[in-house]
Structure 1
Amino acid sequence: MKIINFNIERLLILSKLKSIIELIKSYDADIIVLTETNSTLIDLGENYFAQHSKPLSKNQDNVNFYREGENRVSIYSKFPIKKRIQTTDEFTSLAVELETTLGKLVVYGTIVGIFGYSRDKDRFVKDFNEQESDFNKIFANENVCLVGDLNISLSGWIYPSKEYRENLNNIINQFDLDSSTASIKDNIDHILISKKFIKNREIQIEPFNVDKKLSDHIGICLTLIK
């Protein structure tokens, strides 16, 4: 099973669209979570079921730069999407239940701090607290995969703070999540998945777009090997 996480920087340069889609498709992933995306422009083909966070208005959150079709999170899955699960902020977080070949899996895709931390600390804290509340409601007794632009590094450069690195590690421990993406230093985009879902399978982590030519974020492909 392959899972991809990629923040595509709102497709600010549309000439990159074809290359972004080709790169994503080249991994032939089973589950793909895109953040800062545009559901009207990204077409991954009929092999995927899809759900998207609510579309953003031009003046969403009192800023005047969103374009038609932009949304913060999209989840694409080769596995059937059994249901969508309500989140506190349906513009910023998206949760779905999948029926995979390895069993039921709840995928929660999100951005923590839609404007980053340094630009708007209050919004970062609001997002983190609301999403932590979601986790407590949604994650209990479930196999889960928390994916997205979390704006928190788990190794290397400490961002945004030691406090929030510890807070995220507490969530990882509380829900017994594998944090293999923590091995990528200075990285704020993560794929955190229930250890009980992984069982004894080997995990491979492959960063891509490391030169950041297609987006200002790296992408990550996590592979579970039988």
Structure 2
Amino acid sequence: MKIWEKYEDYLLTGEWHVHTNYTDGKNTVKDLCEKATTLNIPLIAFTEHVRKNLNYDFNDFLTDIDTCKNEFPDLIILSGLEAKVLPDGTLDVLDDILNTVDYPIFAYHGFPKDITTYLETLNGIVSKSKFAKRLNTWAHPGLFFQKNPNLLNELDEDILKEIFITMKKNKILLEINSKYNLPYQNWINLAKNEDISLNFVKGSDIHDLNNLNNEKLQI
């Protein structure tokens, strides 16, 4: 069972993609929890950027989260990470860290401008048991094409449909990311199709507590 299944009622009202000052966010874990509590946000997931070679102490990050779980008992607080997909089809994260957090998600950052490699790695990530059984969500889906718009017309919708079907089978969510306004509307329409019925999750990609909001995601 993946953690999101336990909190499925909050997929559209919680904040499932949050960064802190451990990486490129502005605020501490505690500051963000205080703000979320003020706004009556029911759930917050801290999905900090990771690499195999970290420049911060991940255990300190987890300790801060555990402290806040005790300090804010009415707020559901999840530990998480955002792992970068590498061109060889693996994730830029150590296995012991991937297996430690509640809510690991994956994303494409700085990926080579190669649609074939992109689709091969994406299919592998959502289908291979090593990753699929742990990963909960595809973060800011479509960012690769937003950065390489000339490649979008090369995307075969049937291939995307098969990826969505595999995600549904392996209980991987499709993030609705308000920071990048992704995924594309036609991707959302495809994922909502009755023969797929992919689950969506609110992921505002928070880097500043002033961007936290308690609005229910409308799809």
Shorter-chain TM-score: which interval? Answer: 0.3 to 0.5
By percentage of residues, which structure has more strand?
A: 1
By percentage of residues, which structure has more helix?
A: 2
- TM-score, normalised by the number of residues in structure 2: 0.43
- TM-score, normalised by the number of residues in structure 1: 0.42
Higher relative contact order (CA 8 A, sep 6+): 2
